[in-house]
């Protein structure tokens, strides 16, 4: 068994958390081809992405409390096994309705990885340490979406789109095996919570009315929604509108992920000298700059690949600085119910992302304008949530007074 504080445990948790971006990013190059194969329009195919996010959001509300009662490991293993079976169902789907159903089931299982990975970090570390570790986890995890679209593009051209879902299922099965035999349960027995409906309702009401939690969660959710707007629209904008080949899509996508990794690494370095709040506000400023620049170029009808990729990479660098701080801040007040707090946090994040993704597909007009405008709006909304809530209600250990004691 690995020590809970070892780098290998962090890598394993990153592999579990990466299941979320893998299940969305790996099949992005295949969206246009899947539409042709299943006789479905862009809005229907994009709905498989939004339904995944919706299922992901709903499942977390149950996954977190279950993990607070029975522990992180058994719930994570069960979820990963469901993810494996649903992935095979996706690969065998013969119409878009069946694909939607199995994508929803895939999300129900896949939600266990991100929710419980975040909760395990909170189990193991203090809030300020968790901010640094989550930045490290995010950097490792970012390797998955950097590689996933390229792998998906080659699987698509070599074996067809169903092979992408087979690969995802195998990945989930392997991670389940490693979790089962590689780490011990990170949750302390004395922190187990009741599964009674009254207790669950009380816990969610307690978490959901905490102003610090609300501020960090909304800041995170709007930043993540901007990221998801790009995920939802990028394949159509880059492949259909700007003429990028599906097998090359991943290379352009890697530029965006490189921006995200750069933001994560910068946050890790700055975390040794700066408070999380100082890193957070600078990350938001970077995201607003990138998002508004892309929207401005689209409004000026500057339509080329780099008018999308350079501003989006800048936006993602800011997101890479922002997300670890908001994750740690949202969970800081809830050491005894980190699973439920992580679940509610993830529900808000994924529900907003699903709505934004559907909006991108519904409003898509064949250019980059809709996607770019929504990304800019999300960046500005994230900054607004920070200014209105986070500055007034910072997380314990994030404030200057406590940091210097």
Q: Residue 182 has what DSSP assignment?
A: H
Residue 399 lies in a domain: no
Number of structural domains in the chain = 1
The domain of 73 spans: 7-185+195-392
For residue 401, tell me if it sits in a domain: no
pLDDT band at 401 (very low <50, low <70, confident <90, very high): very low
Q: Is residue 96 part of a domain?
A: yes
Rounded-to-integer distance, Cα 87 and Cα 226, Å: 26
**Cβ atoms of residues 31 and 236 within 8 Å:** yes
Q: Between the ranges 133-142, 286-295, 345-354, where is the mean pLDDT highest?
A: 286-295
Residue 400 included in any domain: no
How many Å apart are CA 394 and CA 345, to the nearest integer?
A: 16
CATH number at residue 144: 1.20.1250.20
Q: What's the token pair of residue 288?
A: 């607003």
Q: Is the pLDDT of residue 147 over 80?
A: no
Residue 202 lies inside a defined structural domain of this protein? yes
Do the domain assignments include residue 171?
A: yes
Structure tokens at 381: 């909304």
Residues 45 and 38: their CA atoms lie apart, in Å, by: 9
- With CA atoms as reference, report the closest residue to 166 among 55, 158, 45, 246: 158
pLDDT, tens digit, for every residue of 327-340?
A: 888 988 887 777 78
d(CA 375, CA 146): 20
User: pTM of whole model > 0.75?
Assistant: no
The gap between the terminal CA atoms of the chain, to the nearest Å, is 36
Asked, for residue 209, whether it belongs to a domain, the answer is yes
pLDDT in tens, 275-319: 888 999 999 999 999 999 999 999 999 999 999 999 999 999 999
């Amino acid at each position: 068994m690995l020590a809970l504080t070892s780098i290998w445990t962090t890598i394993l948790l990153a592999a579990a958390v990466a299941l979320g971006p893998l299940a969305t990013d790996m099949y992005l190059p295949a969206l246009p081809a899947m539409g042709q194969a299943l006789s479905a329009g862009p809005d229907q195919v994009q709905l498989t992405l939004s339904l995944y996010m919706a299922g992901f959001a709903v499942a977390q509300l149950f996954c977190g409390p279950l993990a607070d009662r029975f522990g992180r490991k058994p719930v994570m293993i069960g979820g990963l096994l469901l993810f494996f079976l649903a992935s095979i169902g996706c690969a065998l789907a013969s119409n878009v309705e069946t694909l939607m159903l199995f994508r929803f089931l895939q999300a129900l299982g896949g939600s266990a990885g991100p929710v419980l990975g975040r909760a395990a970090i909170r189990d193991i570390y203090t809030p300020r340490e968790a901010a640094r570790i989550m930045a490290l986890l995010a950097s490792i995890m970012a390797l998955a979406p950097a590689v996933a679209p390229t792998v998906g593009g080659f699987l698509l051209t070599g074996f067809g789109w169903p092979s992408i879902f087979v690969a995802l299922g195998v990945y989930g099965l392997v991670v389940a095996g490693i979790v089962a035999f590689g780490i011990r349960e990170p949750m302390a027995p004395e922190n187990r919570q009741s599964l009674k409906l009254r207790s669950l309702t009380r816990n969610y009401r307690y978490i959901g009315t905490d102003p610090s939690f609300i501020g960090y969660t909304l800041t995170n959710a709007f930043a993540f929604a901007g990221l998801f707007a790009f995920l939802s629209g990028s394949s159509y904008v880059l492949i259909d509108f700007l003429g990028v080949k599906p097998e090359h899509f991943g290379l352009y996508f890697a530029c965006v992920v490189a921006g995200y990794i750069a933001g994560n690494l910068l946050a890790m370095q700055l975390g040794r000298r700066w408070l999380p709040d100082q890193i957070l506000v600078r990350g938001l400023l970077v995201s607003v700059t990138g998002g508004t620049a892309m929207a401005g170029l689209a409004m000026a009808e500057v339509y080329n690949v780099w008018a999308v990729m350079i501003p989006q990479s800048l936006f993602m660098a800011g997101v890479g600085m922002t997300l670890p701080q908001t994750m740690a801040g949202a969970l800081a007040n809830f050491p005894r119910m980190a699973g439920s707090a992580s679940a509610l946090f993830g529900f808000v994040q994924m529900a907003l992302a699903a709505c934004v993704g559907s909006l991108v597909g519904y409003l898509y007009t064949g250019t980059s304008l809709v996607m770019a405008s929504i990304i800019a709006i999300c960046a500005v909304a994230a900054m607004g949530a920070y200014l209105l809530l986070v500055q007034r209600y910072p997380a314990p250990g994030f404030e200057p007074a406590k940091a210097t004691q």
